[in-house]
Amino acid sequence: MKRHAIIFIILFAGFQASPSSADVPAAPAERVDQQDHDINLEQSVFRRKNRLGAILQPSARKKLDLAAKKLVSLLAKDPEHMDLYTVVRREIGKGFSNLSIDQGNLLVFYVLAESAMLISGRENLKSGAESIGELSEMASLRLQIAMDRQSKFMRTLSNMMRKISTTQDAMVQNIK
């Protein structure tokens, strides 16, 4: 799990891409394929989050939604010096007791996905408001960076979902 926390830190710390990858622009077809992949990935994450939310009790959802809002506000204040996994686990620990590791990881996934939805909604509001007038070059660059971070965040969530699913499948196989 520390590996996932490190990945989240890297995503939100805004580390620069390596110079060799920054100098070579992506081909338009590759960029479109990557955008399609990111959209499908985002939809998959949000569907899984919604399925998990449907299973949860309303009081549990409320606690997790509050944790997601707190995470977003913490990210807005200082995204560079934060261990997301630890922050989310601590928030979940405040509201829930006696959780197994797998249950805790599912709730962490839910909070991270909800945070991504909140961030995504804010990004859409910003881009809609800015599209009314002309975008300055700096605003366009900031928007692109934010979209890239969101894309990386969604990919990480997808990898985490895949890991959870693989673990669950392995547990079922071990039981058989």
Tens-digit pLDDT profile for residues 1-24: 444 444 444 444 443 343 444 444
Tens-digit pLDDT profile for residues 119-175: 877 545 445 544 444 456 667 777 888 888 888 888 888 888 888 888 888 888 888
Helix-strand-coil percent breakdown of the chain, rounded to 5?
85, 0, 15
Q: How far apart are CA 135 and CA 138, in angstroms?
A: 8
Phi-psi region of 14 (alpha: psi -120 to 50; beta: other; left: phi over 0): left
Whether the model clears a pTM of 0.85, i.e. scores above it, the answer is no
